[in-house]
Amino acid sequence: MEKSNQPHVIVLPYPSQGHINPLLQFAKRLAAKGVRATLATTTNTMQSVHTSAVAVEPISDGFDDAGFAEAGKEGDYLSSIREHGSKSLARLLDNHKAAGFPVSCVIYDAFFPWALDVARRHGALGAAFFTNSATVCAIFSHIHSGALTLPVNVEDEPLVLPGLPPLNSCDVPTFIRNPQSYPAYLAMKLSQFSNLEKADFVFANTFHQLERQEAESVEKQWPAKLVGPMLPSAYLDGRIEGDKGYGASLWKPLSEQCSAWLSTKAQESVIYISFGSMVSVSSKQMEEMAWALTSTNSDFLWVVRETERDKLPPGFTESVKGKGLIVSWCNQLETLAHPAIGCFVTHCGWNSTLEGLALGVPMVALPQWSDQVTDAKFIEEIWGVGVRAKEDKSGVAGREELLYCLKEVMEERGHKLRSNARKWRKLAMEATDQGGSSDNAINQFVMKLKVATAVEN
């Protein structure tokens, strides 16, 4: 069978919401530029992906019925997805070659360095895609190179690394301050660099204007092309027709209910609170947040997953009717883009951070673990788009502290923070638009794929 002259990529994300979304969005960007794109995701998450822009095919993680929930332990799941994912990715590559659409490149989540070996064995190029900030990637790169050893002790003085601002203890990723807290995830973070020097391409979901210095500081160890922010085109450059959502949601959003409620509120009058798809907030922290929201002068929309509902104070939901809307999930992009939103209270996951920046919404940073603490520092001190809630000795941001932060964003410093947020929104739009830094980086990749495909044929 004659081979197709069209470059073909398989995009392989780690099977969680925060990883599927940016990699799926990258696949859509490539498809809009003439590349045949196939998203390969686990059988369990495949049913949650709905997009006509790219093909979607299953790979196995060894737990096809319930995914991670079936595995139970992080280490068991990661071992299983490596074993079963390698085999099913290999079959997928073979099947596409037999059908006349050989894969030019496997773009794999950097959590899956084993995918590079599979790609190479099948004659395809390999591209690692990092879903964290360039800053966080730079920190882990220094650990991998041996320039930084674990555990990182920054109690006495700040951590100073080339190209990065000084990082105090509260700014350093929790995994490296306390390596024993989540050993399986720490091992996965470090494995991202295990064979990176062999990858043909390295990409990161950030953009030049946002983290140029941080990325350039480790470009010899981490030669990443900055292609973000990976948000649907409708919220940035508008060049992909109909691209209004990611196309993947592991939860059913309540868009209509949220939109209808927001439409009754004044411009920039509503506080939006969401801690993402994975973070579990303590009952005490939920109680303190509830009190602060009750005490503020602003209305609020709070996303509380069903598994977290029992942490709300008794009678709270009924007591705030009219002032507050509490939902189990909503379309975050639509919500942040709504003119009624004046503040975003976030756990500072990288996707949520990018969405807040790209939509121009000032933030209250309430990081919980991992890399979120580093993102929070940049939100407040480097990009100037928010304030960070300070925790007490028990690791909880108290009600008075939260109320202070909410008032700072909604009232006292609102004008300055919103002005900075609008600046970053403009820069994010410029990066993704035609001729922007991220768009140019993607175009260069597509050109190299076309050349490689032509040579192969």
Query: How many degrees, rounded to 5, is the angle at CA 303 between CA 300 and CA 307?
Result: 145
Strands (E), 153-192: none
What are the distances in angstroms from CA 117 to CA 112, 243, 432? Answer: 10, 33, 31
DSSP state of 150: S
Dump the DSSP string for 52-104: SSSEEEEE--S-TTTTHHHH-SHHHHHHHHHHHHHHHHHHHHHHHHHTT---S
- 106 CB-side CA count, 13 A: 29
Task: List 9's β-bridge partners, or say none.
Answer: 37, 105
C-beta of residue 358 within 8 angstroms of C-beta of residue 428: yes
Q: Length of the chain, please? A: 457
C-alpha radius of gyration, the chain, whole number: 22
Q: Specify whether the backbone of 35 is left (phi greater than 0), alpha (psi in -120 to 50) or beta.
A: beta
**Catalytic residue from among 8, 61, 96, 109:** 109
Q: Is 94 a catalytic residue?
A: no
Amino acid, single-letter form, for residue 129: F
User: Cα–chain-centroid distance for residue 265?
Assistant: 29
Q: Is 90 exposed, middle or buried (0-12, 13-18, 19+ CB in 10 A)?
A: middle
Handedness of CA 148, 154, 160, 161 (dihedral sign): positive
- The 3-state DSSP class for residue 424 equals helix
Q: Specify whether the backbone of 348 is left (phi greater than 0), alpha (psi in -120 to 50) or beta.
A: left
Residue of 444, 439, 441, 442 whose CA lies nearest to 428: 439
What are the distances in angstroms from CA 332 to CA 71, 99, 275, 385? Answer: 29, 39, 11, 18
**Catalytic residue from among 8, 19, 96, 144:** 19
Q: Is 19 a catalytic residue?
A: yes
Which residues are the active-site residues?
A: 19, 109
